[in-house]
A and B are shown apart, each in its own frame.
Chain A
């Protein structure tokens, strides 16, 4: 029923969306050095939606990641995750950054197993169900093409492989929300496009919600259901675009003229955001 309603009426009530940020304000520093990083930011992410956040440097994109995961709390406004007010680090979230941040003393498999050792619902069963958990981790590694590298150390992997392992670590405990902060930024173009495919595949398979912070507009349009443009500091949402390409999207989608139009449009909005 709800999906039949017109767009503008479909504003969910407070806290109903998977992630719900309302009137968020955030201040950095103290005294004379106080700057408003984010001001009056509203963002709702539906269950299972893939949202990309783009914007000029210093628009508080990475701050937004920390707000959603409860690693920092807003100075103004209200943030909800799964209907509950965020008061501390949010559970059941997977995170991947531009640096793979793998633990160099652990094997690839050992790194991917890390969430099972920490997430509350898993860690007490880890000893009893060790084999099952290891099997799950190995299967996920196989999905991203790292089957033969499970027992290697991160130092023996290429940058692209490390980033695959990083994504595996973020997803192995099947979180309901995946946060990606420029995860493919340091990779070469081919590897990056390959990993877009891998990410989309995992997203379709596991059905998590995802928030992707990126500088790469093509990455944003290729992966996301909705692309959000943030303004310069203080960051707030100035534009959003619903990407209508059907799933699964082929990499050739990025060469379609419509795709190019969307990217061009977004670029213009970001330039406007920088100038205003």
Chain B
């Protein structure tokens, strides 16, 4: 087998996996009784997507909006807190237990409070997306800053560098791959947060659409909603990877040569 053949197989693998999944799904639903009410076939789901494409599009845009907004706020806040605890050992000691506790709280448990404070709709969805997305960003930024080589720090200090110069010239650039790696995790978690909030407290969004559809026993539309969320998350993930590759090309210089 030659290399181009090898590479095209690798490239086709995700599509083959999806095709296989669809086949198994189709077969499974033909074996289930009343499949349209429990496990509708992919063809039925596709039909529902076409039939309801207007509703799906507007609700998907709503979910996309709150997810991206929550993600964006998480990036700003996460970088800020991550830098703060990465730079100051004292802040790290003070805040870390709190952050772990905050992260351990099941976010769905926040929903009653969020509804109480902000009502239903975009606000709680954005906040829930934010609250899920922010933690991996904080952890990665702080870890990235801590990855400064102590010998590099000695070199900097002996040149007369102050703490600020060490952070800006060494710490922050070294942190970038960690930051962009956290984006991939954070963006998918943001979608989870938005949809979770929409299923409980919203009048639009994919989560709301699925909740509505399931109340009407339109199971094909529920599955259509799932497929749309998955597709959006995969696209957002892919965009994060592209940005990551662009920005931190240097971090793979060393490894590329060994393959």
How far is A114 from B169 in the complex, measured between Cα atoms in Å? 9
Complex alpha-carbon distance, A118 and B251, angstroms: 24
Q: Does A264 touch B at the CB level, under 8 Å?
A: no
Interchain CB contact (< 8 A) of A93 among B152, B158, B165, B250: B158
Partner pick for A115 among B151, B157, B159, B173, CB 8 A cutoff: B159
Known: A99-B149, A101-B152, A153-B253. A89 touches B170 (CB 8 A): no
Which residues from chain A contact B149 at a C-beta distance below 8 Å? Answer: 99, 101
CB A87 to nearest CB in B, in angstroms, measures 14
Give the distance in Å from the alpha carbon of A55 to the alpha carbon of B253 in the complex: 37
Whether the pair A69, B173 counts as a contact (CB closer than 8 A) is: no
Complex alpha-carbon distance, A115 and B257, angstroms? 29
B160 touches A119 (CB 8 A): yes
Shortest Cβ distance from A110 into chain B, in angstroms? 11
A105: B residues at CB distance < 8 A: 173-174, 176, 248, 250-251
Contact A155 B250 (CB under 8 A): yes
Q: Do B257 and A101 touch across chains, with their CB atoms under 8 A apart?
A: no
Q: Is B123 an interface residue (CB 8 A)?
A: no
Name the A residues within 8 Å of B173 (CB-CB): 103, 105
On whether the beta carbons of B253 and A71 are closer than 8 Å, the reply is no
Q: Does A259 interact with chain B (Cβ within 8 Å)?
A: no
How far is the CB of B171 from the nearest CB of chain A, in Å? 11
Q: Mark A100-131, 1 if CB is under 8 A from B, else 0.
A: 01011100000000110111100000000000
How many Å lie between the Cα of A101 and that of B166 in the bound state?
A: 14
Give the residue of B158, B165, B254 whose beta carbon is less than 8 angstroms from that of A155: B254
Mask, A63-97, CB within 8 Å of B = 1, is: 00010011100000000000000000111011101
Q: Taking CB as reference atom, which chain A residue is nearest B155?
A: A95
Q: Which residues of A sit under 8 angstroms from B169, Cβ to Cβ? A: 103, 114, 117-118
**For the complex, is A154 an interface residue (Cβ under 8 Å from B)?**
yes
Residue A156 interfacial (CB < 8 Å)? yes
A71 contact from B154, B250, B251, B257, Cβ within 8 A: B154
Task: State the CA gap A165–B254 with chains docked (Å).
Answer: 16
Would you call B156 an interface residue if the criterion is a C-beta within 8 Å of the partner chain's C-beta atoms?
Answer: yes
Contact B254 A71 (CB under 8 A): no
Contact B151 A101 (CB under 8 A): yes
Asked whether B22 is an interface residue with its Cβ less than 8 Å from the other chain, the reply is: no
| Main SS class of interface, B | helix
B161 at the interface (CB under 8 A from A): yes
Contact count band on A: 20 to 34
Which of B157, B165, B256 has the most A CB atoms < 10 Å from its CB?
A: B157
Most chain A CB inside 10 Å of its own CB: which residue of B160, B250, B256 = B160
Let me know if A95 and B257 touch, CB within 8 A. Answer: no
Interface string of A206-246 (1 = CB under 8 A from B): 00000000000000000000000000000000000000000
CB neighbours (8 Å) of A94 from chain B are 158
B245 to chain A, nearest CB (A): 14
**A118 touching B159 by the CB < 8 A rule?**
yes
Q: Is the CB of A155 within 8 A of B160?
A: no
Could you tell me if A118 and B253 are in contact, using CB atoms closer than 8 angstroms?
A: no
Instruction: Check if B170 sits within 8 Å of A103, measured CB to CB.
Output: yes
Q: What CA separation (Å) do A173 and B173 show in the bound complex?
A: 23
Are B161 and A118 in touch, CB under 8 angstroms? yes
Q: What's the nearest-Cβ distance from chain B to residue A178, in Å?
A: 11
| B157 proximity list for chain A (CB < 8 A) | 71, 89
Please, how many angstroms separate the alpha-carbon atoms of A104 and B251 in the complex? 7
- B254 near A89 with CB under 8 A, answer no
> Contact at A153–B250, with CB atoms within 8 Å?
yes
Hey, which chain A residues are within 8 Å of B250, CB to CB? 104-105, 153, 155
Q: Encode contact with A along B235-259: 1 for CB under 8 Å, 0 otherwise.
A: 0000000000000101111111100
Closest CB-CB distance, B49 to chain A, in whole Å? 44
- A169 and B152 alpha carbons, distance in the complex (Å): 12
List B95-118 residues whose CB lies under 8 Å from chain A.
Answer: none
Tell me, in angstroms, the Cα distance from A94 to B160 when the chains sit together.
11
Q: A66-B154, A103-B173 are known contacts. Are A155 and B253 too (CB-CB below 8 A)?
A: yes
6 A-B pairs whose Cβ atoms sit less than 8 Å apart in the complex: A99-B151, A101-B151, A114-B169, A118-B156, A155-B254, A156-B253
Binding site for B on A (CB under 8 A): 66, 69-71, 89-91, 93-95, 97, 99, 101, 103-105, 114-115, 117-120, 153-156, 169-170, 173, 179
Beyond A91-B160, A114-B159, A179-B158, 10 additional contacts (C-beta under 8 Å) are A93-B158, A95-B154, A99-B151, A103-B169, A104-B254, A105-B176, A105-B251, A118-B159, A119-B160, A156-B257
